[in-house]
């Protein structure tokens, strides 16, 4: 018996020595609530260095309030940009592959952690960190508890997303371009962008199943780091119709039919689940993620509505199961029958399109309603209201191509962009209308400041107010009034209905405005309420005039659009 006991003791000592060689090394010097915290896994076993996070160790975090969260480590590799490469694989590895783990602390105090074996059967190392309190609103972003049309941080602090698509960047120096765009957006008051995981920028999948492109995963790290520096929240698009149709970094079958069968299965398969697990291990703890967009324009990938709807339901359920941070989920759709995916269980946000088709050619039938960029969005907003979930116009602007877009070329001052940015929100969206052309238009023409006015004005409204709701656009009068109205406040945009991009840019007429002051009544506020009415510039948000007024016994207040006004908003606030 003694030899067996000796062997057992020696094996136990050897395993303990091996375990003691494994540890977590923080990459941060201090920690606060809401920070994205990253550790290096020191001394990993060779078998852990896998794209499959189920083969990587678990780290169990216990908060001061005894809440327990387990995070998987993930495979990573440092890279750098080879700026001399104008296209293709411009990222160069600068170190060995290793493992990291990420976490976000939700409460201040002492947090304990345990490094566990992949099957969680053994504790390999233990430690703790001190987390300081933070004055910033805590994540994740949710549907607002105060208003089901809007979004808010976990403590109910309102969040109104304002920003365009910044879907990808191109060589050279993709991270540097993300930094440039995010910095310019933040300087203009923007706080949100929509970014794709595309085969040419940020898609971790390669052409081989489960062989992830760590250089593009590193690129996403740089994108998120830049977004964090500038306070930009991101809707991250996990898949897109282009890559699916053409089989680019989409290893789910050798041809389109096979991909429909394999990828768009009613219950997404294990290969898709493994990618989600890696994505959530690497990016899931990052509060810069506002929402996961499971697929861009799913109907452009598969026109069979039954297949698309079934996949949306199954994919949303799988994401809900795997994403322990419970971030918002959405799928975008190109057609008008958005309800195919938007009504599916597990889809939180509705995404709409609002492109002007005037310059794309083809039958005039498809261009009938494009001369009014605001009216174009109104029809989509009405359909979205019927679905009953928060919605956003996540792609708007002139339809065209990067190198051939007569609409963008003819609108260097961004008239349509501003009108759709504002109307996308004032028609009841959870955020601003999001222009598509971030690089060849917004950045090229220096139009980032178009976001400034809306950003300034939304900060003047208390979006927690019960009863705050979008106005139904009035019909039958040249004065069209859009806005949000509550019992004690309102954000109102009155304008001449004929003041359109088409009249000004195609018709070559001056901006249309009323030649006299226009007075109109606004009903629905608290009766006999003393208010202040501010007139502000739509473009900059600058205050132009202030008057005192009051609502009558029925809750109606009289507002006035000044003579000649073309870009004017009114803010009504109780004294």
Mean pLDDT, range 425-429, rounded to an integer? 98
The rounded distance, in Å, linking the Cα atoms of 411 and 418 is 11
Residues 247 and 361 in one domain: yes
Residues 228 and 351 in one domain: yes
**Residue among 253, 235, 234 at smallest CA distance from 243:** 253
Total domains, the chain: 3
Residues 446 and 534 in one domain: no
Residues 256 and 170 in one domain: yes
224 within a domain of the structure (yes/no): yes
Residues 451 and 483 in one domain: no
Mean pLDDT, range 18-36, rounded to an integer? 89
Q: At 519, which helix (H) or strand (E)?
A: strand 518-522
2 within a domain of the structure (yes/no): no
pLDDT of residue 87: 60
pLDDT of residue 265: 97
Residues 483 and 452 in one domain: no
461 within a domain of the structure (yes/no): no
Residue 189 lies in domain: 166-456
Domain holding 501: CATH number?
2.60.40
> How does pLDDT run across 93-133, given as a tens digit for each residue?
999 999 999 999 999 999 999 999 999 999 999 999 999 99
Domain holding 237: CATH number?
3.20.20.80
Using alpha carbons, list the distances in angstroms from residue 270 to 210, 306, 377, 466, 537: 10, 22, 39, 44, 53
Residues 104 and 229 in one domain: no
Question: Percent of the chain at pLDDT above 90?
Answer: 92
Residues 452 and 483 in one domain: no
> How does pLDDT run across 476-532, given as a tens digit for each residue?
999 999 999 999 999 999 999 999 999 999 999 999 999 999 999 999 999 999 999
Cβ within 8 Å of residue 459, ≥6 positions away? none
Mean pLDDT of the chain: 94
136 within a domain of the structure (yes/no): no
75 in Cβ contact with 97 (< 8 Å):
yes
pLDDT confidence bin for 82, thresholds 50/70/90: confident
Residues 285 and 355 in one domain: yes
Q: Which of 83, 114, 131 is where one domain is finished?
A: 131
Residues 541 and 405 in one domain: no
Q: Which of 81, 114, 131 is where one domain is finished?
A: 131
469 within a domain of the structure (yes/no): no
357 within a domain of the structure (yes/no): yes
pLDDT of residue 88: 61
The pTM of the whole model exceeds 0.85:
yes
156 within a domain of the structure (yes/no): no
Residues 447 and 484 in one domain: no
> How does pLDDT run across 291-342, given as a tens digit for each residue?
999 999 999 999 999 999 999 999 999 999 999 999 999 999 999 999 999 9
538 within a domain of the structure (yes/no): yes
> How does pLDDT run across 266-290, given as a tens digit for each residue?
999 999 999 999 999 999 999 999 9
Alpha carbon of residue 345 to chain centroid: 20
Residues 99 and 205 in one domain: no
Mean pLDDT, range 207-213, rounded to an integer? 97
Domain holding 57: CATH number?
2.60.40.10
């Amino acid at each position: 018996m003694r030899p067996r006991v000796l062997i057992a003791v020696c094996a136990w000592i050897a395993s303990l020595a091996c375990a003691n060689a494994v540890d977590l090394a923080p990459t941060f010097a201090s920690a606060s609530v809401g920070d994205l915290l990253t550790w290096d896994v020191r001394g990993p076993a060779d078998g852990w260095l896998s794209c499959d996070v189920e083969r990587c160790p678990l780290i169990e975090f216990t908060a001061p309030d005894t809440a327990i969260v387990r995070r998987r480590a993930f495979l990573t590799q440092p890279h750098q940009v080879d700026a001399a490469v104008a296209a293709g694989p411009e990222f160069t590895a600068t170190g060995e592959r290793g493992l990291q783990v990420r976490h976000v602390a939700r409460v201040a105090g002492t947090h304990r952690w345990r490094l566990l074996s992949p099957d969680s059967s053994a504790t390999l190392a233990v430690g703790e960190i001190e987390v300081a309190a933070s004055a910033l609103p805590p994540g994740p972003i949710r549907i607002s508890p105060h208003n089901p049309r809007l979004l808010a941080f976990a403590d109910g602090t309102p969040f109104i997303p304002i920003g365009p698509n910044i879907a990808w960047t191109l060589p050279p120096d993709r991270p540097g371009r993300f930094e440039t765009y995010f910095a310019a957006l933040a300087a203009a008051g923007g706080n949100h962008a929509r970014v794709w995981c595309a085969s040419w920028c940020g898609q971790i999948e390669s052409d081989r199943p489960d062989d992830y492109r760590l250089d593009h995963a590193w690129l996403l790290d740089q994108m998120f780091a830049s977004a964090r520096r500038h306070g930009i929240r991101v809707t991250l698009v996990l898949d897109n119709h282009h890559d699916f149709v053409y089989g680019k970094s989409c290893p789910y079958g050798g041809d389109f039919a096979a991909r429909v069968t394999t990828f768009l299965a009613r219950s997404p398969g294990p290969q898709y689940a493994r990618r989600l697990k890696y994505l959530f291990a690497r990016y899931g703890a990052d509060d810069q993620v506002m929402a996961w967009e499971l697929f861009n324009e799913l109907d452009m990938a598969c026109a069979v509505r039954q297949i698309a709807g079934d996949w949306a339901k199954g994919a949303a359920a799988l994401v809900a199961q795997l994403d322990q941070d419970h971030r918002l989920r959405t799928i975008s759709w190109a057609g008008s029958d958005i309800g195919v995916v938007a009504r599916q269980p597990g889809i939180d946000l509705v995404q709409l399109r609002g492109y002007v088709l005037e310059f794309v050619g083809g039958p005039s039938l498809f261009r009938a309603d494009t001369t009014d960029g605001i009216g174009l969005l109104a029809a989509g907003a009405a359909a979205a209201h019927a679905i009953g979930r928060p919605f956003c116009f996540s792609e708007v602007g002139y339809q065209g191509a990067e190198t051939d877009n007569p609409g963008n070329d003819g609108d260097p001052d961004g008239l349509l962009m501003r009108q759709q940015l504002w109307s996308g929100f004032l028609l009841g969206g959870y955020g601003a209308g999001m222009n598509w052309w971030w690089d060849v238009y917004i950045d090229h023409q220096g139009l980032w400041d178009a976001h400034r006015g809306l950003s300034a004005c939304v900060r003047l409204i208390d979006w927690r107010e019960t009863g705050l709701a979008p106005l139904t656009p009035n019909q039958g009068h040249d004065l069209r009034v859009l806005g949000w109205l509550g019992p004690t406040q309102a954000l109102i945009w009155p304008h001449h209905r004929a003041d359109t991009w088409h009249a000004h840019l195609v018709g070559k007429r001056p901006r249309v405005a009323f030649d006299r002051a226009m007075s109109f009544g606004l009903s629905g506020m608290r009766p006999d309420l003393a208010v202040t009415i501010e007139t502000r510039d739509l473009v900059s948000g600058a205050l132009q005039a202030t008057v005192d007024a009051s609502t009558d016994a029925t809750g109606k207040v009289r507002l006035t659009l000044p003579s000649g006004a073309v870009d004017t908003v009114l803010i009504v606030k109780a004294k």
